[in-house]
Amino acid sequence: MIALEVGTHSRWVSQMLSEFGHEVIVANARELRAITGSDRKSDRVDAEKLARYARVDRRILRPIKHRGEEAQVDLVVLRARGVLVKTRTQLVNSVRGVVKSFGYRMPNCSTERFVKLNNEVPEKLREHLAGLMEVLEHVQKQIEEYDQRVEKLAKEKYPETTVLRQIWGVGEITSVSYVLTIEDKGRFEKSRDVGPYLGLRPRRSQSSESDPELRITKAGDCFLRSLLVECAQRILSKKGPDTALKQFGLRIEARGKKKAKKRAIVAVARKLAVLLHKLWVTGEVYEPFPETTVRKAA
C-alpha cells in the first residue's frame, strides 16, 4: 500500500504505481492539516504521518479518485478555452480603462462584439492600442475554434450531455464539463451528494451551542463550480424563463437578508448540480415544474 498527497503530479504517479501492482491511496489535502500545519514539517516526517494514517484507517485521509486520462485530455480543451476567456476579459478591461482615462468611453457591448470596435477607439490612441486590439481579435478567433471543438465533443463523443442541456441556461460547455468532471455517474449513491462534492455546501464549525453560518467549502473542481454559478445567474436573470428552480432562488433572494442574492445564486447552483446528475442517471425529460406535472398525472 502506498499513500501520497493529492497534487499536480499525483494523477500520473498514482496511475504508474497502480500499473506496477501497488494499492495507491491519494489523500485529500484538506484532511492533512496535521501535516501542512506542523512546525517540524519535512518530507520524511510527512511520509511517516501519511503511512500511519493509511495503516490505522484510510478513511481519515478521505481518499480522492482521479479521473481517467481520456477525460483529463478532453478537459484540457475546456480549461484552455477558459484561460482565453479570462485573457479576453483582461484585454477588454485594459482598453476600456485606457480610453476612459482620456475622457472617452467605449460603447457598451459584449466582449465578443468588442473586437469589432477598433474604429471606436479615439484617433489619438488608436495607433498605441492597435497591438492590444490585434491580440484581442486573435484571442476571439481562438475562442471560437475551441467552441467548435466543445460542440463536436458534445455531439460525437458525449451525446449524454443532450439530456443535461434540457435546462435553460445550460449549454455545451457546462454539460461537457459536468460529465467529464464527474466522469462516472454511478459514483454517487444520491444525487444530493454532488453539491458537497463540488464545494457548494456551507462550511460547518459547530461547537456546543455555537453553530455559525459560514461560506461554502469551495472544495472539488473550481472550474465546474464557476460554470454552475454562471448558469445560476442566467437562470435567475430577467431573461430566464419561469421554472421551479428559478422560483426557488427568488424566494431565497426575497428574504432580504445581507447578501441574499449571492446566497440565492449559490443555492440555485447547488440545486442545479443535483438536478443535472438526476437527469444524467435517469435520462428523464426535464419538467420545469415537476410537482405540477405529478399532480396532473394523478
pLDDT at 291 over 80: no
What is this structure's pTM?
0.84
Concatenating the DSSP letter of every residue in 152-203 gives: HIIIII-TTHHHHTTSTT--HHHHHHHHHHH--GGG-SSGGGHHHHTT-SB-
pLDDT at 147 over 70: yes
| Average pLDDT value over all residues in the chain | 90
Q: Is 107 exposed, middle or buried (0-12, 13-18, 19+ CB in 10 A)?
A: exposed
Lowest pLDDT segment from 39-48, 106-115, 217-226: 39-48
Quick: pLDDT tens for 3-18: 888 888 888 899 899 9
pLDDT at 295 over 60: no
Comparison of pLDDT for 8 and 143, the residue scoring more: 143
Quick: pLDDT tens for 120-136: 999 999 999 999 999 99
